[in-house]
Structure 1
Amino acid sequence: MATRKSARHAARKSTKKYYFLGAVLGILAILYVGFGVFYGSHFMSGTKAYGVELSGLTQKSAEQKVKDKLANKKICFARQKKSR
């Protein structure tokens, strides 16, 4: 009788471990997918362009922020000659 109780106790303990492991893996999967969805349409943290911080912004809002920053600046594009 004692061995049956200890066997059932061990089986319950093992089942609890699997439930806990499944819950942890489920939470990690949700976080992974969530970050992927968010950063699929937003700039990563630490992103800068022309000295403007773009972290967490969408493309449209980042474009507007860069345009506002560069509105009064004159930008000149020059072509370099190819050396032979």
Structure 2
Amino acid sequence: MQEFLLTRRHVTIPEKPQRIYSCNEANYASFPVGFQRFLDHAKTGEKPYSLRYVGSMVAGTYPTQRPCAAPCGSLLAHACPP
């Protein structure tokens, strides 16, 4: 299908990068240790990042991490026939 709907013209990325991260921290205990360390650094480092809750299915579906409880699977956000 590969179709897109243009909702806004002239979408730009800010020139100065923002220090923001988005993650479902409810699963923190099941994340790999390296990822836990990154989150700890993002929150308490010399220049801390801000946590941004996205709150949308599209943005929350793409960056799924594999939980340690199911290393061969991934988090299922929605199931539907193709």
**Larger relative contact order (CA 8 Å, sep ≥ 6):** 2
Larger Cα-atom Rg: 1
Query: Normalised by the size of structure 2, how large is the TM-score?
Result: 0.22
> TM-score normalized by structure 1?
0.21
Q: Which of the pair is proportionally richer in helix?
A: 1
